[in-house]
Amino acid sequence: MLYIVATPIGNLKDITYRAAEVLASADVIACEDTRHSMALLRSLNIKKPLVSYHKFNERQEGEKIAELVASGKNVALISDAGTPVISDPGNVLVGIMIERGLPYTVIPGANAFVPALVLSGFDASRFSFFGFLPEKKKERDALLASIAPRRETLIFYSAPHDVVKTVGYLAAALGNRRAAAVREITKVYESVEFFNLEEGYPNEPRGEYVLVVEGAPERKSASTPEEELAELLAAGVDKKEAVKTVAANHGLPKNEVYKLTIKN
């Protein structure tokens, strides 16, 4: 069996009883960074064979892990912090398990974006999580253009060296919205910093960040579905995403909006 195990994002006491039991009983533990994971395993007094599984060897090592599971071994997959697969390695491995019909399960626990949403105080009834923004400008611009009209709360990850740039990208694409920078969740210096996007991030970047941003205000434009669709497509938004956005904004079936793309 493959166990996808969530681990603490800061405070080691946030490990669950079940996660500790699974790690203690596993035959092998696959780690994003074996050196980093040793601190957690030492705190639990767990000594197991470790293998390195990270974004640069996902396919190769994933096949090896699948072979271990196929031979009857129990393998636990952990990332440096939080839940594997969520902005961390693991998605490729899950795909391999599905392709080969091998058993796998998840041991739920800590992640960063849900606590950040709670701490921000922003509307949590509907939200979308986007992880780290794409590095390539074209992909980043297309993504931000597609989500700019969305009304729900938006959540992003950012490394400390990128947070100022990330806030700038968000301001350019989304306008001057309220935002919260949540950092060092569950750690000694946990903080929530509120600011407006156009002001930029106001402090010296330190620690790992979750950026929580208000959704788009209610549309006051009298633009027709045709006009809005044309605007989104001109901005480089994927046709499928543009159709979905226009349909939601105007209360139309998606197939009706799709017909507009054929006319254009």
pLDDT of residue 201: 94
Mean pLDDT of 56-66: 95
pLDDT at residue 235 above 80? no
From 98, 12, 90, 6, select the one nearest 54 (Cα to Cα): 90
Mean pLDDT value of segment 115-134: 97
The predicted structure's pLDDT at residue 262: 76
Of 12-21, 40-49, 94-103, 140-149, the poorest mean pLDDT is in 140-149
User: Residue 46: left if φ>0, alpha if ψ -120 to 50, beta else—which one?
Assistant: beta
Q: Can you give the pLDDT at residue 75?
A: 98
Q: How is the chain split into domains, by residue range?
A: 2-107, 113-213, 225-263
Whether CATH 1.10.10.10 fits 113-213: no
Cα–Cα distance measured from residue 79 to residue 208, given in angstroms and rounded to the nearest whole number: 15
Token digits of residue 201: 């991030």
Would the pLDDT of 218 be above 90? no
pLDDT at residue 190 greater than cutoff 70: yes
Helices (H) and strands (E) in the chain, counts: 10, 10
210 DSSP β-pair partners: 157, 182
- What 3-state DSSP class applies to 215? coil
- Write the DSSP string, 94-143: HHHHHHHT--EEEE----SHHHHHHHH-S--SSEEEEEEPPSSHHHHHHH
**Contacts with 23 (C-beta within 8 Å, 6 or more apart), sequence order:** 5, 29, 41, 44, 46, 48, 76, 78
Structure tokens at 30: 């696959």
The answer on pLDDT for 264 being more than 60 is: no
CATH topology of domain 2-107: Cobalt-precorrin-4 Transmethylase; domain 1 (3.40.1010)
Structure confidence at residue 231 (pLDDT): 81
User: Over 60: is that where the pLDDT of 146 sits?
Assistant: yes
pLDDT of residue 207 exceeding 70, the answer is yes
- Alpha carbons 5 and 16: distance in angstroms, whole number: 10
Cβ neighbors of 180 (< 8 A, separation 6 or more) are 116, 119, 120, 121, 122, 192, 193, 194, 195, 211, 212, 213
Give me the mean pLDDT over the 113-131 stretch: 97
Average pLDDT over residues 147-162: 94
| In contact, 94 and 4? CB cutoff 8 Å | yes
User: 78-104, pLDDT tens digit by residue?
Assistant: 999 999 999 999 999 999 999 999 999
Mean pLDDT across 148-174: 95
Mean pLDDT of the chain: 92
